[in-house]
Amino acid sequence: MVICRQFLSILVDNQRIKPIIHVKLFFLLLLPFLGEAQQVQWAHKVLKYSSDLGGKVNGVKQILGRPSSFPQGGATATAWAVKDASKDAFIEVEYEKEQEVRQIAVFENLNAGCITKVMVADATGNYKSIHRRTEGFKFKIERPRISVVLFKIKFNFDKKKRKVSQAPDVSHNADVAYFFLESPEKVKKVKVHFDFSIKPGQKQIDAIGISDSEEPIYPDLNLIPNAENLVAEPIIYAKSENELLGYPFKIENKLHYYGYDAETKNKVPYVFELETRQSNKFDKLTDAPSDYATIQGHVKSENKILMGYLDHYTRAQKTGYRFFDYKQGSYKPGELLNVLAFSNYSEYTDCYITNDGTRVIFGIESDITLGGNDLYTSTKKDDGSFGLLQNMGKQINSAGDELSPFLLSDGKTLLFASDGFSGYGDFDIYVSTRLDDTWKNWSVPKNLGSKVNSTSYDLNPFYDEGSETLYYSTYRDGKSSINKVKIPVKDLTGIN
């Protein structure tokens, strides 16, 4: 039997204490005493398991690879969940290569503390048990749970399509449980047993890592360069706690955005004068249906904008977007945005059209979705309509939701929002680079960092390349706002 000592247990819940800082500071202080870089592997293959939910969302394969929900923790579609979260469960995983191991780390997303036994085996399958000891360091983060009608993107446990049972309303604490071996062991397989009756509520397991070092495995985020040096500032505040702001879009020296009053259900398009910092209702729409309120693109060569509204989304067979032509000082309704065989199973959608008007990108849920809302693209045909939608691939589409696409003028650099990758809150903003002309291969998404992303919702990125300024919508401290932050374009594109 291998003797084990638990070095550290990190707990995360909904309490109002600053995130991450304490743990990162601890690790920074520890670094001078550590040896060479550790060799870390993440589970590569699932061998056996007690049960899962039988689909892409919270399926057993979500446990493979790096953590996708840390350090934020909490409910996600990108972690393994069992059918009955009140009984015993187990999972057995294999790693790509056998290696010497001093540490096993189990990333528990929801209602952690149910691990009863951890076992390790070499390539021959000879298992040995490891015993867990007392908890060590702890830290807590704030995970505000809000009803945001504008953003409409929370992953719901009771969605029938996703076959997830509703969990009791309990603390969503997350835990990285570390197990340290007294002496190195050759490890190829790991088996973890749980007694989920120990804690109430739903349970989710994100990842299982192994390392040859006693330096605790911590899932550092994949950040853009200089992310922690950014300075974001709010420039437009909601008028009340009921008002939600979103979809900033700059045309000339004016920032268009959308306001929604969750109490009165009023939807109002606004324009913000960047020089005078004054907001007024957008009154340049002529003969337009009142529900059109969000600008989703500006086709400069044709002097037209693409607008959408919010009441059309429910399982739509039509896109719900319309072009508006600029004529005689105002925008007048033009043709609808038509996409061949368009279908959206989600209640919500997002859309962006490129500056030349030749390509659209949607955030919708279709028959070939990888989870919730995925990013899809379509190109313009000779008749002015757009062809069949193409899923943009598993590198940027997770089992969670991807929304708010924005493509830079290089046609390669994509900003978007997601709750399916490691980040700081419910939805973070990421950037990825297109690698070829198939539009299916993208670089690993990079998080824009904690100065941009909060512990709540950050969405609707618009990047002004001329001033190298990102505008986006956020919800923090109980209020909605439009923020701006200077980000050099080279830090997004990776090209100096």
Rounded-to-integer distance, Cα 41 and Cα 16, Å? 33
The answer to whether residue 165 scores a pLDDT higher than 90 is no
Rounded-to-integer distance, Cα 308 and Cα 443, Å? 29
* Among 156, 178, 211, residue at a domain's last position: 211
**Helix or strand run (H / E) with residue 477:** none
Give the confidence band of 283 by pLDDT, cuts at 50, 70, 90: confident
The answer to whether residue 12 scores a pLDDT higher than 90 is no
Peptide bond into 488 cis (omega under 30): no
* Among 211, 240, 257, residue at a domain's last position: 211
Residue (of 272, 317, 321, 271) closest to 299 by Cα position = 321
Q: What is the CATH number of the domain that holds 162?
A: 2.60.120.260
Lowest mean pLDDT among 91-100, 159-168, 282-291: 159-168
The answer to whether residue 363 scores a pLDDT higher than 70 is yes
Lowest mean pLDDT among 131-140, 175-184, 286-295: 131-140
Residues 6+ apart with CB under 8 A from 40: 209, 210, 211, 217
For residues 429 and 457, state if they share a domain. Answer: yes
Most confident among 20-34, 126-140, 480-494 (mean pLDDT): 480-494
Q: Look at residue 30 and give its three-state secondary structure.
A: helix
pTM beyond 0.95, yes or no: no
Domain-embedded: residue 219: no
The answer to whether residue 13 scores a pLDDT higher than 80 is no
Domain-embedded: residue 78: yes
Q: Which residue has the higher pLDDT, 304 or 71?
A: 304
- What tokens were used for 204? 């989710």
Cβ atoms 174, 63 nearer than 8 A: no
- What tokens were used for 432? 């990825």
For the chain, how many structural domains are there in total? 2
Domain-embedded: residue 218: no
Cβ neighbourhood burial of 301 (10 Å; 0-12, 13-18, 19+): exposed
For residues 192 and 235, state if they share a domain. Answer: no
pLDDT at 320: 86
For residues 175 and 102, state if they share a domain. Answer: yes
* Mean pLDDT estimate for the chain: 83
Residue 264 half-sphere exposure, CB side, CA atoms within 13 Å? 10
Distance between the two ends of the chain, CA-based, in angstroms?
54
For residues 66 and 202, state if they share a domain. Answer: yes
Q: What number is the average pLDDT over the span 358-365?
A: 96
Domain-embedded: residue 222: no
* Among 178, 211, 244, residue at a domain's last position: 211
pLDDT at 170: 46
Q: What is the CATH number of the domain that holds 274?
A: 2.115.10.20
**Helix or strand run (H / E) with residue 448:** none
Residue ranges with strand state E in 277-387:
278-281, 294-299, 304-308, 321-327, 330-336, 350-353, 359-364, 374-379
Residue found under tokens 């990125």: 461
pLDDT at 171: 52
Domain-embedded: residue 273: yes
Cβ atoms 185, 21 nearer than 8 A: no
pLDDT at 146: 34
Q: What number is the average pLDDT over the span 429-455?
A: 97
Residue ranges with strand state E in 222-329:
232-237, 243-251, 254-261, 267-273, 278-281, 294-299, 304-308, 321-327
pLDDT at 431: 98
For residues 451 and 366, state if they share a domain. Answer: yes
The answer to whether residue 20 scores a pLDDT higher than 80 is no
pLDDT at 310: 56
**Boundaries of domain holding 317:** 227-493
Residues 6+ apart with CB under 8 A from 325: 302, 303, 304, 331, 332, 334
For residues 196 and 267, state if they share a domain. Answer: no
Give the confidence band of 290 by pLDDT, cuts at 50, 70, 90: low
Give the confidence band of 243 by pLDDT, cuts at 50, 70, 90: very high
Cβ neighbourhood burial of 418 (10 Å; 0-12, 13-18, 19+): buried
Domain-embedded: residue 220: no
Give the confidence band of 23 by pLDDT, cuts at 50, 70, 90: very low
The answer to whether residue 142 scores a pLDDT higher than 80 is no
For residues 149 and 243, state if they share a domain. Answer: no
Residue (of 189, 66, 170) closest to 119 by Cα position = 189
Q: What number is the average pLDDT over the span 39-46?
A: 97
Count the Cβ atoms, other than its own, within 10 Å of residue 125: 9
The answer to whether residue 155 scores a pLDDT higher than 70 is no
Give the confidence band of 161 by pLDDT, cuts at 50, 70, 90: very low
- What tokens were used for 246? 């979103």
Q: Which residue has the higher pLDDT, 247 or 163?
A: 247
The answer to whether residue 117 scores a pLDDT higher than 60 is yes
pLDDT at 149: 35
Q: What number is the average pLDDT over the span 21-34?
A: 39
Domain-embedded: residue 31: yes
Query: Long-range CB contacts (< 8 A, 24+ apart) of 469-472?
Result: 470/415, 471/235, 471/248, 471/250, 471/255, 472/248, 472/429
Strands 402-407 and 115-121: unpaired
Cβ atoms 138, 9 nearer than 8 A: yes
Give the confidence band of 387 by pLDDT, cuts at 50, 70, 90: very high
For residues 122 and 177, state if they share a domain. Answer: yes
For residues 17 and 72, state if they share a domain. Answer: yes
* Cα 234 to Cα 12, 139, 460, distances in angstroms: 28, 28, 14
Cβ neighbourhood burial of 222 (10 Å; 0-12, 13-18, 19+): middle
For residues 189 and 305, state if they share a domain. Answer: no
pLDDT at 175: 87
Domain-embedded: residue 221: no
Q: What number is the average pLDDT over the span 418-447?
A: 96
pLDDT at 417: 97
Residue 368 half-sphere exposure, CB side, CA atoms within 13 Å? 10
For residues 244 and 197, state if they share a domain. Answer: no
Give the confidence band of 19 by pLDDT, cuts at 50, 70, 90: very low
For residues 71 and 163, state if they share a domain. Answer: yes
